[in-house]
Structure 1
């Protein structure tokens, strides 16, 4: 079985590629800029960007399974994904394991969840078997929601989120890429339990030793506090919080433990295990 991994210069892709190597699999690393790869001696590297369908088709030649990491936030992200999917179809890729988002659906509150739904549909439409990892919000990014004044401001109401550690998502991805029985499956991927943003703030305050709190914004306050940024980006940021307010982000699943045999970290356990994630707050 030949496996290709995209996004290797990013945090998740790198974790997945290293995890595969530990399992004795030498994946093909599909990257836009090979010069950004470090410590990958002997790696099978192919250069291609999502939007370059011809280069991506060459990069995926002979690949059976493609780990497609969703692209960075971009107003044109869906078209980038669709180009990569078309390249996979042309190359004869049999299965795509895709990093989707919790609650992906055409009418999802979170605009990016709608984008993920379109990508999932495109994979199926291309005749490629899909393994969709619908990830909850990453615990790794939660500390960055804290403002300089120690306040998390968000229109999330009393909504809850099952923060999931990126390292646990990577462990799951390795298992899905190398294991059997995951074709045409959709997996909700979360931490072990959901907490609200008040609890999130208290956990961050506990490890950092500084006052951190949560202020539930109104929609008007949310737009005012993010003024000056591109409207599509503001809509995405706000949408992610509104999805918590509606309950779309509160889903908890046993996927990680069921597939890998190891329980994922809770948010508090993640903070204890990954001090570098919140060191900038101290």
Structure 2
């Protein structure tokens, strides 16, 4: 591959991992972010001038000369879709030809998880840009499952007995890298669900955390009203709390139970399980240990 690959979110958990994998393979990359000082120093990588998704001029300048864009979605915000659209239109104006978009499992206009709706609207815009595209629909992160348990050892939320097929950041990065390095056109127009190898109930998530920490971790099923009440002290805005609560409701609705073989098919290795993740990342549950 001789074209430049632009990577957004290169200071983050997914973009940073992908940027490092591309650098290891000698790919010329353009690292794009709001704070260039936070971007990693990598061989063959050029740090673009500061560029936020919502700044059309800055994004167009940052992406000029790139042929492919790995677009890691922006942080949740009320106007996230508008920011995505601005960045994508800037990519088109800059001459980008292909986008690999990090989306979310079950993205749909009526998805229970409110933030998943943002991803569907972004996907729809991408379809209309004329860009070649691949969508990587990630499940909840395994790190997020570990973080669901409070310091008191209780996972609280309205997930019922639903299941979630959490996925590791490492597997997402490996899959994205495989797509970016593939022959031209191989993954165009394809949507991949990126999940772990199993779908767990939150009771099973709690059991895995119990095994890893040596303390009892439990799951307490809440009603929607109880979930909003238990999060009232966080000081977050309503749209954000609604996103948190609706992620559990999406689990209850079966919208996060999909188990896909896309990770092993794309990467050549099995997807990491939650137990694998906990064994390799003890800091993920440090808040639960003495």
Q: What TM-score, normalized by structure 2, do the two folds share?
A: 0.94
Partner of 1:229: 236
- What SS does the corresponding residue of 2:14 show, helix, strand or coil? helix
How many Å separate the matches in 2 of 1:18 and 1:24? 10
> Which is further off, 65-74 or 139-148?
139-148
How many Å separate the matches in 1 of 2:103 and 2:30? 21
Where in structure 1 are there 5+ consecutive unaligned residues? none
Partner of 1:216: 221
- CA RMSD across the alignment: 1.2
- C-alpha contact (below 8 Å) 2:5/2:29 kept by paired residues: yes
Q: What TM-score, normalized by structure 1, do the two folds share?
A: 0.97
How many Å separate the matches in 1 of 2:244 and 2:73? 16
> Which is further off, 112-121 or 19-28?
19-28
Partner of 1:201: 206
After TM superposition, the structure 1 = structure 2 runs for residues 68-217 of structure 1, keeping only pairs within 5 Å, are 68-180=71-183, 181-217=186-222
* CA positional deviation for 1:75: 1.2
CA deviations on 1:49-88 (whole Å, 9 max, x unpaired) are 1111111111111111100001111111111111111111
Moved over 6 A (4+): none
How many Å separate the matches in 1 of 2:155 and 2:219? 5
How many Å separate the matches in 2 of 1:7 and 1:199? 32
* CA positional deviation for 1:42: 5.6
Please state if 1:265 is matched with 2:272: yes
- What SS does the corresponding residue of 1:64 show, helix, strand or coil? strand
Partner of 1:250: 257
Partner of 2:6: 4
How many Å separate the matches in 1 of 2:40 and 2:30? 15
* CA positional deviation for 1:38: 4.2
- C-alpha contact (below 8 Å) 2:31/2:39 kept by paired residues: no
- What SS does the corresponding residue of 1:98 show, helix, strand or coil? strand
- What SS does the corresponding residue of 1:114 show, helix, strand or coil? helix
Partner of 1:13: 15
1:182 to 1:143, Cα distance in 2 relative to 1, 3 A: same
- What SS does the corresponding residue of 2:66 show, helix, strand or coil? coil
How many Å separate the matches in 2 of 1:248 and 1:125? 26
Please state if 1:281 is matched with 2:284: no
- What SS does the corresponding residue of 1:11 show, helix, strand or coil? coil
- What SS does the corresponding residue of 1:67 show, helix, strand or coil? strand
